[in-house]
Amino acid sequence: MVTYKVGISGSYGGFNMGDEAILQSIITQLRSAVDVELTVFSRSITDTQTRHQVEHVVDVRDLTRVEITPKIESLDLFILGGGGIFFDKEADAYLRELEIAQQNDVPTMVYAVGAGPLNNENSRKRIKEVLSKVDGITVRDREAKKIFEDIGVDNPILVTADPAFLLTPEALPKNALKLEQVHGQRTLVGISVREPGPDAPDIDPNFYHGLLANAADFVISRLDADVIFVPMERAVFDVQHSHAVISKMLQPQHAWVLKGDYSPGQLLTIMKHFSFAIGMRLHFLIFSALQGVPFVALPYASKVSGLLDNLQVPMPPLNRVDSGLINAYIDKAWDDRSTTKTHIQQLIPNLKMLAAENNGLALDLLQGEHKNKTQPTTSIPASEAGLV
């Protein structure tokens, strides 16, 4: 049996549970199809070694170009992605390993990535140059494809879906539900915040803190609920922003922040206990959809709007809503929750098939088939599925 050597690089290292869900899915899909020896290029060796059972972990940010080249040149495939890694101030950092792989004749794939905001001219030129030489590109939404086309990437680009759609629930640690006060005595609503940053430069914390505080108070009264804030980035600012929202609430006694540090699959299991969700972060919303939890989103970026389009869940962008409008959407979403759940469950299988196309292309590249493939092999195109 052939053992393939595959390297995977992206925003990995425990900083974001959405990114870890993507990595977990990539690993699971590859291992289910071929015998593979995996090297993950991570921002935290310890975290990646703890979370993922892979053969090698490389501390990518601490090594020089000379030091990292031997880690790449022996690979059979180098994967960059997935997730929203192509945005101003970060894109250049991710291109280095991709370029090294190309210079050493290692097949390369850009895997289910997002893009934007991308306004820096030097970054746009670098992305165009490097991505035009890769052997396969998939993106998770149409906006990312448009951005790459607009900057002149001369390569076929396949729209698939986020690998996290292939995630499965995992068993929780003993007494986890008790620790998190998930007891079923009252309706439980999950809420997700996100911090401003280079990939979300335009959101105003004071504005959305007020929106979420008002929404939390509304569901507490309207649904006789408790609310639990789910930090998708525990190591950064999600916990602080969650507490900031709670501090603005009129009924903070019915709100708390998830305490434990869970794997993406375990977090998926916890979210099954939610009756409703209100969220900003993309993967929090994906997890809600996977578990059949009706939700209202605050679309701060095109990747969130793209997900809502795929799931056919209407919601104006964050900069066009106020508390009254959000509460109206919450009220309607709650009343329509059974119909919405059924509708989303009908769409999920197609999204899973599209997500699986990422691994299909990776396998073709590994096995030397259909270089620069432009069409899916096992599922209907996104345009025909009604998902883009």
Which ranges of the chain would DSSP assign to H, the alpha helix? 17-33, 45-51, 65-73, 91-103, 121-131, 142-150, 176-179, 205-223, 238-247, 264-271, 282-290, 302-311, 323-335, 337-366, 382-385
Higher local confidence (pLDDT), 91 or 109: 109
The H or E element that residue 3 is part of is: strand 3-9
Residue with tokens 């004071």: 206
Average pLDDT score over residue span 306-313: 94
How many Å is the maximal CA-CA distance in the chain? 62
What is the pTM (predicted TM-score) of this model? Answer: 0.93
What tens digit of pLDDT does each residue of 189-248 get? 999 999 887 667 788 999 999 999 999 999 999 999 999 999 999 777 899 999 999 999
Among 12-16, 27-31, 205-209, 379-383, the least confident range: 379-383
Q: Closest Cα to residue 229, out of 214, 211, 241, 217?
A: 241
| Cα–Cα distance for residue pair 256/258, rounded to 1 Å | 7
Both tokens assigned to 236: 């950064």
Residue 170 has pLDDT above 80, yes or no: yes
Which ranges of 42-103 would DSSP assign to H, the alpha helix? 45-51, 65-73, 91-103
What residues contact 68, with CB distance under 8 A and at least 6 apart? Answer: 41, 58, 60, 96, 97, 100
Both tokens assigned to 211: 């929106």
- The SS3 call for residue 358 is helix
DSSP conformational letter for 119 = -
| Cα–Cα distance for residue pair 195/323, rounded to 1 Å | 19
Both tokens assigned to 36: 């593979």
Backbone angles phi, psi at 360, to 5 degrees: -60, -45
What tens digit of pLDDT does each residue of 332-349 get? 999 999 999 999 999 999
